[in-house]
Amino acid sequence: MGQRIIRIIKGDITEQEVDAIVNAANNSLLGGGGVDGAIHKAAGPKLLDECRTLNGCATGEAKITHGYNLPAKWVIHTVGPVWHGGNNEEDRMLAKCYSNCLKLAAEEGIKTIAFPAISTGVYHFPIPRAAEIAINEVIDFLQETPVFDRILFVCFNDETFSNFNRLLNEDKK
């Protein structure tokens, strides 16, 4: 079912022409490094101005802003868990990031959305485990709420790409 809708690509999320891109942010929502830094740089300073009005974001939750200078109309900011060994609700929090982003996107009528590999950079979540959670959560959501035309996983490096790609193709979903 999801195969036509879910796509794994290698690239830069800031360049994606989708309705919304997801930002792997921190609790302050006031910018940082990694994909967060790239998104703020590409969107321009108005993104930070809008983020300042949001009062931060709890881990696993999601908030939406405009995309400003990005090709994407919207940015959905979520905060992934920091990896602390795997026994601190990391899996559940990461799954919540994906489902809460999709829930918010569905409420806004968003049809196409791109995700980065949340938590797998600075937050050190192991990539194979994060990929499995991400793909399963998106497939589960799509089965309940089939409102999206395209869901992209935008992988920034080969390791991320091969993990996501292997899972999606193995499962024949």
Minimum Å gap between C-beta 172 and ligand AR6 is: 25
As given in the structure block, the two tokens for residue 73 are 């109309």
3-state secondary structure of 44: coil
- Report the residue number, 119 or 139, with the smaller CB distance to ligand AR6: 119
- Report the residue number, 31 or 147, with the smaller CB distance to ligand AR6: 31
Q: Are strands 74-79 and 62-66 parallel, antiparallel or unpaired?
A: antiparallel
As given in the structure block, the two tokens for residue 4 are 């036509």
Minimum Å gap between C-beta 5 and ligand AR6 is: 20
Alpha-carbon gap, residue 99 to 88, rounded angstroms: 19
Number of H helices, E strands in the chain: 5, 6
Compute how many other C-beta atoms are within 10 angstroms of the C-beta atom of residue 82: 15
Contact (Cβ atoms closer than 8 angstroms) between residue 93 and residue 82:
no
Minimum Å gap between C-beta 139 and ligand AR6 is: 20
Catalytic residue status for 158: no
Which of 12, 36, 91, 149 is flagged as catalytic?
Answer: 36
Binding site for ligand AR6 (CB under 6 A): 12-14, 24-26, 32-36, 38, 80, 116-123, 154, 156-157, 160
Minimum Å gap between C-beta 146 and ligand AR6 is: 26
The residues carrying an active-site annotation are: 36
